[in-house]
Amino acid sequence: MNTINMMRTQYRVSDFISWQKSGTLELSPSFQRRPIWPAAAKSYLIDTVVRGLPIPIIFLRERKSDLSTLEPKREVVDGQQRLRTLISYISPKALKNFNEGRDAFMVKETHNEELAEKRFEQLRKDLQQRILDYQFSVHVLPSDVDDREVLEIFARMNATGIKLNDQELRNAAWFGKFKTSMYHLAYQFLAQWRKWGVLSENEIARMQEVELTSEFTLLILNGLMGKSQKAIDNIYKQKDETYPERKASERRFQTVMEAIDDGLGADMPVLPYHKKALIYPLFAVVYHAMFGIMSSLKKKTDKPLPKKLFTDIRAAGEKIEKGRVPEKVLEAIARRTTHAQSRKIQFDFLLKECKLA
């Protein structure tokens, strides 16, 4: 493979719109995948652009100039679906093969209430300007790079990548109400995840705080259970379009997280509860004390926390550290499993120590 002199630059959304209209942009070369993004993914992209958040790099390749128009031409090597989404939203007539059923969409209220169910021309002028002026980071390959070399470039990119974990796969697959809620809650309590020492920076970078948030929300919705990737996948699917419990479950999640931070706070890193085996039963016990496991989400008032709850939780943590707990509890913690039975053993122990059983 020859050395490639790749140009790194930035182009605005309006540049791509202009090129598409003038016919100097090849959006779908033969090696590109066909447009298959669902409407929810497209909605999420528009919200990302409006918020000025980063989007993965666009790869272009220069082509020979058009001798009839004297215009330079370029083709999309990677980023077709991102660009097609923006063009179909802003200027659908610029797409020669625009298909109403496949390409038309509007932003969902879940992603952005201000843009929801509005076409581009119905947006405020400042929002239109923000979208058009958004800048992509773009890498441009010279025209002498052939298809074989393009394919080798992306084979190398994929070969040096890290396999996506379960939560990263969910992030790529779902864009609806439940996902939006989980990411909102995870980001809201990012400072606590770090302060408590529950997750490493690498785990946070790979969305493990979102997965833990999802587990806690499953507890709120369905009661105490083991960690099951299938169960988490199913709740993202079931509540993608409609999530009527969202407001109530978010409030309960926030209330419990704030109570744990107030009660244990800066001491969490030196308590056993920052360990992955114990953070779930800790959340479950505090949740049970405030609301009751499997209680109706329609109930508006919280139970007052027992005055000695966190004193008892600390004392139970000291017993765990010193090994002065039943053997089955030590075994459940030592195994570091997330099976339902292990979690129930730890949960029942804490309930008893906190005089909640």
Is residue 286 assigned to a domain?
A: yes
Residues 102 and 178 in one domain: no
Which domain, by its residues, includes 302?
A: 166-353
Position 350 scores a pLDDT of 96
Whether residue 224 is found in the same domain as residue 319:
yes
Q: What is the pLDDT of residue 30?
A: 60
Q: Is residue 2 part of a domain?
A: no
Domain identity same for 183 and 72: no
pLDDT for res 277? 85
Domain C-terminal end among 140, 159, 178: 159
Q: Same structural domain for residues 147 and 178?
A: no
Same-domain check for residues 176 and 150: no
Q: Which two tokens stand for residue 320?
A: 């765990």
Predicted confidence band of residue 159 (pLDDT cuts 50, 70, 90): low
Query: For the chain, what is the mean pLDDT?
Result: 90
Residues 145 and 12 reside in one and the same domain: yes
Q: What was the pLDDT predicted at 337? A: 65
C-alpha–C-alpha distance, residues 245 and 219, integer Å: 13
Same domain as 208, residue 136: no
Write the pLDDT tens digit of every residue in 250-290: 999 999 999 999 999 889 999 999 988 899 999 999 999 99
Structural domain count, the chain: 2
| 124-138, 293-307, 340-354: the lowest-pLDDT one | 293-307
Q: For residues 200 and 106, state if they share a domain.
A: no
The answer for residues whose C-beta is within 8 angstroms of residue 158's C-beta and 6 or more apart is none
Provide the CA 194 distance to its chain's centre, in angstroms: 18
Domain match, 196 and 154 both: no
59-75 per-position pLDDT tens digit: 999 988 877 777 889 99
Report d(CA 110, CA 184) in Å as an integer.
11
Residue 288 DSSP SS3: helix
Q: Is residue 1 part of a domain?
A: no
Mean pLDDT of 43-67: 91
Average pLDDT over residues 143-147: 84
Co-location of 276 and 139 in the same domain: no
The gap between the terminal CA atoms of the chain, to the nearest Å, is: 68
Q: 351: which 2 tokens?
A: 């309930």
Q: Does residue 97 sit within a domain?
A: yes
Domain C-terminal end among 159, 184, 206: 159
- Give pLDDT tens digits for 229-240: 999 999 999 999
Looking at the fold, whether 152 and 170 belong to one and the same domain comes out as: no
Query: Do the domain assignments include residue 55?
Result: yes
CA atoms within 13 A on the CB side of 248: 14
The pTM (predicted TM-score) of the whole model is 0.80
Average of per-residue pLDDT across 43-68? 90
Tell me, yes or no, whether 146 and 195 share the same domain. no
List phi, psi (to 5°) of 269.
Answer: -60, -20
The domain boundary residue, chosen from 103, 131, 159: 159
- Split at pLDDT 50, 70, 90, the class of 121 is very high
259 inside domain: yes
